Amino acid sequence: MVWPLGDGMRNALAVLYTAFLFGANPAAADVAALLTGDMAKLVLAETPAPIPEAGLLDMADAPRSMAEFKGKWVVLNFWATWCPPCREEMPSLDRLQAAMPELAVVPVATGRNDVAGIERFFAEAAIENLENLRDPSSELAHAMGVMGLPVTVILNPEGAEVGRLIGDAHWDGAEAQAVLKALMAGG
């Protein structure tokens, strides 16, 4: 005999299925429950994936690398001066860095971005807490599958990708900070 399931039973089964899905990693379930507002666009990695090595430059053309940030949680933001959503979200990344100094917020200007143009934008937007790196040949962006801008990738202290958000977000908002704090606490 087959018994029809009422809405209550369907909801209970959905909760049970979700519990089984996240049962092996309850912290992931905690983080997933926080994905609201702008953070609903954040896709968590099933398994953290190391990011590829790629040569970056600082504003004075000195070689830099993402390996410098190992040991810290990183909010890696791919952006460009010609990208309106990138320009709009940059002040929120600056405020995030000020609010959460225990993590590294790392904007990487991808592709052709004039150094003077970057400096002018940072001055106009009153960006005070971020150090900008450059990926002039888009080597890192291409290696990480970044197809459009902005894209923000969250890296764990081992330098592995644990989440990716395509598009802009309010990174200084309560939702973003809650997600980042949950990840840093073991998510």
pTM (2 d.p.)? 0.84
pLDDT in tens, 87-109: 999 999 999 999 999 999 999 99
Tell me the average pLDDT of the chain: 88
**What CA–CA distances, in Å, run from 155 to 20, 55, 84, 106?**
26, 17, 25, 11
Beta bridge partners of 56: 64
Closest CA to 169 of 155, 153, 182: 153
Residue 165 contacts by C-beta under 8 Å, 6 or more apart in sequence?
Answer: 38, 39, 41, 42, 43, 151, 152, 153
Domain ranges of the chain: 1-25, 34-184
| Structure tokens that stand for 105 in this block | 């917020």
Mean pLDDT computed over 113-124: 97
Architecture of domain 34-184: 3-Layer(aba) Sandwich (3.40)
Q: Phi first, then psi: what are they for 62, rounded to 5°?
A: -80, 140
Whole-number pLDDT of residue 28: 61
Question: What percent of the chain clears pLDDT 90, i.e. is strictly above it?
Answer: 82
pLDDT over 70 percentage in the chain: 84
What is the pLDDT averaged over residues 150-173?
97
With contact defined as beta carbons under 8 Å apart, do 161 and 155 qualify?
yes
Question: For residue 50, is pLDDT > 80?
Answer: yes
User: What pLDDT sits at residue 21?
Assistant: 37
DSSP 49: E
* Residue 15: band (very low, low, confident or very high) from pLDDT cuts 50, 70, 90: very low
